Structure 1
Amino acid sequence: MTFLSPDRLWLLALAPILAGLYVVLQMRRRNYAVRFTNLALLSQVAPKRPGWRRHVAAALFLIMIVLMMIGFARPASSVKVPRDRATIMVAVDVSLSMMAQDVPPNRMEAAKTAAKKFIRELPSRFNVGVVSFAGNANLIAAPSADRDTAIASLDQLSLAKRTAIGEAVFTSLQAIRTFDTQAAHDPPPAHIVLLSDGDNTTGRSVQEAIDASRAAHVPVSTIAFGTPYGTVDIEGETTSVSVNKEALKTLSTSTQGKAYEAADAGQLRDVYANIGSSLGFKTEHRDVAARYTGIALLFALAAGGASLVWFSRLP
C-alpha cells in the first residue's frame, strides 16, 4: 500500500485527539451528575442509561472519520499492467562451429528448432526480432508481433566464419532503439536472448557489449549451446569446438540476465519462464480512495442507524 498524497496523512493525528476529547467530555458529564444530583433519587427520577450502547455510535463515527482521512491521502495499490511494447531479441550464432553434431542432428538445426519453439510460445503482447551473427551481425527480422516473419527468417540462416558476440548485442540494441517513433527517447522494455557455442573472435568485445547493455538497461540472457566434445571438419581438418561457457556467463550475469547451459534442444523449453515477468509487465499505482470512501460511508450509515434506534436522534 502506498499513498499518492502522503503529506495529507498528518490529519490522522486528529483522530486520537477527537477520541481523547470524547473521553474527557464523558468523564465531565459523569462528574457533573455526581456533583449536582441527589444520588438517592437519581435511579427513580432519571431513566436508565443505555450504558455501552451510547459509545457505539461515537466509535463508528470515529472510524468513519479515520477512513475518510486515509481516503483523502489517496491510497494506491500496486497493479501489474502488461507492457504492449515489450520486445525480445533472439540472437543466433551461425558460425562454422555450429555444424558440430554433438547435439543431434547438429547444433545449428537444434538451435533453430529451439528458437522457433521459443518464439511461438512467447505471449502475443511481446514483439520479437531476430539477429544472426558470425563474422558480423545482421538484423534478419525487425522486432514486431509477426511471429511468422521471425520464424521464417530462421530458415534463411547460413553458416560463416568467426563469431562476433559483441556485434550481435550491439545490433540487437540498435533494433530496440529504432523499434518505433518513441524508441529514440523512450525505448521499449527489452531482453536479448543469445544462443551461441563459442567465444567472441571478432568485432567489438564482450566487455563493450556489457557496457552498452547496462547503459540501455537491457539484460542479455545467454544459452551455451553444445557439449565439451563437439568437433567440426573445416577444410579437411577436424577441429574441437567446445563451448566457452565462462564468456557467455560473464555477458549474462554482468547485464542482470541469466546464463543457461543447453546440451540439447529440450533444455531450452524453460528459458522464457526464467526470464521473469518484469519484461512483460510494469507496476502501476492505482488510486483506491473510492474504496475507503465507500467503507467510510457504511460506517456513517451504521453510526446513524445505531443512534436513531437507541436514542431517536442522529449522532
Structure 2
Amino acid sequence: MSWESPHRLWLLIGVLALAVGYLVRQRRSSRYAVRFTNLRLLDRVAPRRPAWRRHLPAALFLSMLALLVGGFARPAADVRVPKERATVMVAVDVSTSMLATDVEPDRLAAAKSAAHKFADSLPKEFNVGLVAFAGSAAVFVPPGTDRSALHTGIKRLAEGSTGVQGTAIGEAISTSLEAVRSLDTEAAKDPPPARIVLLSDGANTSGRDPGESAGEAVQAGVPVHTISFGTPAGYVDRGGRPIKVPVDGETLRAVAEQTGGGYHEADTSDELRGVYDDIGTSVGWRTERQDISARFIGLGLLFAMAAAGGSLLWFSRLP
C-alpha cells in the first residue's frame, strides 16, 4: 500500500496529542483522595461507574480520527478486479465490390449501419473488436468495452482501408481469431467465449481459403455469423464501365454452417441481436492500482457510530 498524499499523515500528530491529553486528564482525576469517610454509605448512594467501559468511547473516537486522517491521505493499493472476457469480433468487408449500390445506399454503407446497430445491441460489459478486410485483414479496434472507440472505428471504414485489393474472407476470420487469443494474458491458455460477426458480399478472391479458416474457428470453438450484402445483379462503376460483382452468399452460408454460426441476408440483419444470447460469460481478473480511501473512511464511520452508541448506553450522552 502507498499514499497519494503522504504529507497529510502529519495530521496524525494531532490525534496523538489528543490521546496524550486524554491520558493526562485521567491520571489527574485519579489523584483526588476520597474525603467521604463512610465508605459503606458512599457505596450505596454513589452511582457505579464503569471501569474499562468509560475509556472505550474515547478509544473508538480517537481510532475514528486516525482512520479519517488515513483516508484523507489517499491510500492506494493493487486490487484484483473482475473483468468480463466474453468477446465479439466484427469483421467488415471494405473491398471495391462493397461499393455496389444494389443494397441502398451501397453495400459498404449498409454494412457499417448494421455494425453500428449490432454494437449497440450488445451488453456493455462484452468486449467488442473491429476487423477491416479487403485483400488482407487488419484489426481496426482491439476488443474492449469502449463503445465510442468502436463506433469511431466503424465510421473510419472506407473502401480500400487495408491498402490491398481483393476480398480475403479467410484472412478476416483468422485475424479475428488472433485478436480473441490476444484479449488478455489468460487467453492463450484459457480462451474467452467468443463469436465472430462477418459482414461481406461473400466473393472470396484472395488470401487463405475460407473453409480452412472456418476449420480453425471450429477448433477454437468460435462460431462465425455471416451477413450477406448484395444481389446477383450488383456492379460497380469504374471509369464509366460497369463491372459485375455478384454476391456470393454460398461462401458465407458455408462458413456459418461449418462453424455453427448463423447466416443472414442484408435485409434481415436485425436478427443478429440474438447472436450473443448463447455466448456465455467468463470472468477473468486484472490487477489495478486503486484508491482505497473509502475503506478507511467507512471503517472510521463505523468506529464513530460505535463510540456514540457506547457513550449513549453507558453515560446517556454523546462523546
Q: TM-score range by the shorter chain?
A: 0.5 to 0.7
Distance 1:134 1:174 in 2: 17
Cα distance, 1:276 vs. partner? 5.2
Aligned to 1:184: 188
For 2:94, the equivalent position in structure 1 comes to: 94
Aligned to 2:151: 151
Alpha-carbon contact 1:198-1:241 (below 8 Å) kept:
no
Equivalent residue number for residue 271 of structure 2: 270
Q: Is the 8 A contact 2:264 2:271 kept in 1?
A: no
2:176 corresponds to 1:172: yes
Aligned residue in 1 for 2:117: 117
Deviation at 1:125, TM superposition (A): 2.2
Q: How many residues are aligned here? A: 197
Q: Deviations over 1:67-90 (max 9, x none)?
A: xxxxxxxxxxxxxxxx92110000
Q: Which runs of 5+ in 2 are unaligned?
A: 1-82, 283-319
2:208 partner SS: coil
Q: Is the CA contact 1:225–1:243 (under 8 Å) kept in the aligned structure 2? A: yes
Q: Which residue of 1 aligns with 2:50?
A: none
**4+ residue stretches of structure 1 with deviation over 4 A?**
none
Runs (5+) with no aligned partner, structure 1: 1-82, 283-315
Give the Cα separation in 2 of the matches to 1:241 and 1:169.
22
1:1-315 superposed matches below 5 A:
84-160=84-160, 161-262=165-266, 264=267, 267-273=268-274, 275=275, 277-281=277-281
Q: Are the counterparts in 2 of residues 198 and 242 from structure 1 also a CA contact under 8 Å?
A: no
Query: CA–CA distance in 1 between the matches of 2:135 and 2:154?
Result: 18
C-alpha separation in 1, matches of 2:220 and 2:202: 25
Post-superposition CA distance 1:252-278 (Å, at most 9, x none): 10001111112x4xx2122121x2522
TM-score (normalised: structure 2): 0.59
Shift of 1:244: 0.5
What's the secondary structure of 2:184's corresponding residue? coil
Give the Å deviation of 1:202. 0.5
Which amino acid is 1:119 matched to?
Answer: A
After TM superposition, the score normalised by the length of structure 1 is 0.60
Structure 1 contact 193–220 (Cα < 8 Å) conserved: yes
Q: CA deviation at 1:137?
A: 0.2
Q: Distance in 1 between matches of 2:202 and 2:97?
A: 8
Partner secondary structure for residue 129 of structure 2? strand
CA distance in 2, matches of 1:211, 1:103: 30
1:231, distance to aligned residue in structure 2 (A): 1.2
